[in-house]
Amino acid sequence: MSTTLGHKGVEAVQNKDYAAAIPLLDKALDSSTSPAWLLARAQAHQQLKNYDAALRDVELAYHTAAERGSGNSRKQMIESQYRRSVLYYKLGRHADADCCAKWCMLLAEGRPAREDDGVEKKVDGNGNYTVTYEDGVADKNGQPGQSGDSKGNILSGIMGGDGGTGSSAKTGFESDWKRAYTWRSQVLGALNRLPEDDPGRKVNVTKIPSKPQAKPTKPDPKPEPKPESAKPPAPAPGSVPDEQLKLKVDFYQSNDKVSVTLYIKDVKKEELEVEFSETQVRLSPLPRAAAPYVKAGDREAASTLTLDGKIDPSKSRFTAHPRKIELVLAKATPGIKWGSWGKEHIGLDAWKNDTSAASDAAGTSAPAPVAEAQPQDQSSSIPEPTPEATTSAGPAYPTSSRSGPKNWDKLVNSEAEGEDDDAGKGDPNYFFKQLYKGATPEQQRAMQKSFIESNGTALSTDWNDVKARTVETLPPDGVEAKKWE
């Protein structure tokens, strides 16, 4: 009976019916602590944002797999460490997330599970995690399964391997290693953007997690209320520094849009007002956790976002959720890459300065909110191209990338021309730029030939392998390669 329920629960997770999967797996796990079922239930809890319950399941799955010692044990332990990393990232514990991702890679390389590798000890005097984005990109010496064949070289080029020299033997977990390696770039990129005093920079995790109980204990249904005097007094208005009031922000961009996510709890959609101008966004009221006394109209309840580029207010929009606000900003000039999303200013002073200057120039009042704006003919006010839009002449090689053709020569010459590489660290192409720039001329020739001939689906650094053959197109699984007529 439990086996049937377990299979049905796993199938429900695969079909993304997470709410139905959890009760099925609950019943199945009453009689057997199967690591596979625990991992499936953890995935369901994660998708439903029950992060604490999901973390408990992956930690119990790790211990159960290690104790069973079956043929699937290492695979399940690798999956448990990877899931721990994802959950810690969701909880804002970025340093802990990277530690678990690194332990996932070490298990995939065949290293002992109880090895004292010192990953969690890489902290400074303030207890902040010291591993950087660059460290994560360079951390590829242990990549398993690299060999001298062409496919090995292609994978080595893409992942930054050494083309077969100094590579390690196959372990059967090559895809798990690659997944954890790729995930670390996102974790470390977000970690590097955190303020120095953010708790997400602290390491509070251990390689082998504490083993949870098989069944979670139910909390006391009637907890004793804390005495009123035990509550700390609310700070007085204006007593919290602006830096502590600022929101956590993530962003990404495409050719024509910039998506900005502002993390804030207890957002009330019906009360939130968002107003867009060409260079700014105004939000109010914001229920800031650092200043719980604020109410609509208080300075601390409002923020002005000064953007890094110009937008089209009429095409920009927002959505509000209980724990975040998402902005979709339409670029005024598509194709311009923003170096960052911009800056947050507490209050409306910056907004008033911006709108008053615009009003003086135009002889009108400040712009109305987007919801009330009427379509206007903007053909006479096309913005001038910014310096970022200027590109140097050079050959552009064919590619299947969404971002368009790559100018490899520009990547090599960018450092000599004084370009700032730091601005692209959040871009997936940054890794390939660093790989190409650090390669020898022969490796660069191999990369160009393999990339062009394979239509952007393969990248090799071994010239001896590719010089005498045509590199075939190797599309990802599930994708069919077609020729353009």
* Its pTM surpasses 0.75: no
Cβ count within 10 A of residue 427: 15
Angle at 92 (CA atoms; ends 88, 98), nearest 5 degrees? 50
Does any domain span residue 25?
Answer: yes
Q: Is residue 225 part of a domain?
A: no
The answer to whether residue 276 sits within a structural domain is yes
Percent of the chain residues past pLDDT 70, beyond the cut:
72
Residue 330 contacts residue 254 (beta carbons within 8 Å): no
Q: What would the mean pLDDT of 129-135 be, rounded to a whole number?
A: 93
Higher pLDDT: 278 or 465? It is: 278
Order of strands across the sheet that contains 324-330: 248-253, 257-263, 324-330, 317-321
- Residue 299 belongs to a domain with what CATH number? 2.60.40.790
Mean pLDDT of 69-84: 90
Cβ pair 328, 320 in contact under 8 A: no
Same domain, 44 and 173: yes
pLDDT at 216 over 70: no
Mapped onto helix, strand or coil, the DSSP state of residue 319 is: strand
In a domain, 298, yes or no: yes
Q: Which domain holds residue 308?
A: 242-363
Residues 336 and 400 in one domain: no
Structure tokens at 206: 């251990």
Residue 352, pLDDT above cutoff 70: no
pLDDT, mean of residues 244-267 = 90
Name the DSSP class of 120: G
Give residue 312's pLDDT band: very low, low, confident or very high (50, 70, 90).
very high
Residue 43, domain CATH: 1.25.40.10
Number of domains in the chain: 3
Alpha helices in 91-173 (DSSP H): 94-108, 133-138, 150-159
Going by pLDDT thresholds of 50, 70 and 90, the confidence category of residue 2 is low
β-pair partners for 406:
397
Q: Which amino acid is at 162?
A: D
Q: Are residues 134 and 251 in the same domain?
A: no
Average the pLDDT over each of 22-36, 306-320, 326-340, 380-394 and give the range with the smallest value: 380-394
341 and 448 share one domain: no
**So what's the pLDDT on residue 392?**
42
Same domain, 14 and 54: yes
Q: Is the pLDDT of residue 58 over 80?
A: yes
Structure tokens at 198: 């953010």
Q: How far is CA 66 from CA 31, 86, 110, in A?
A: 19, 21, 14
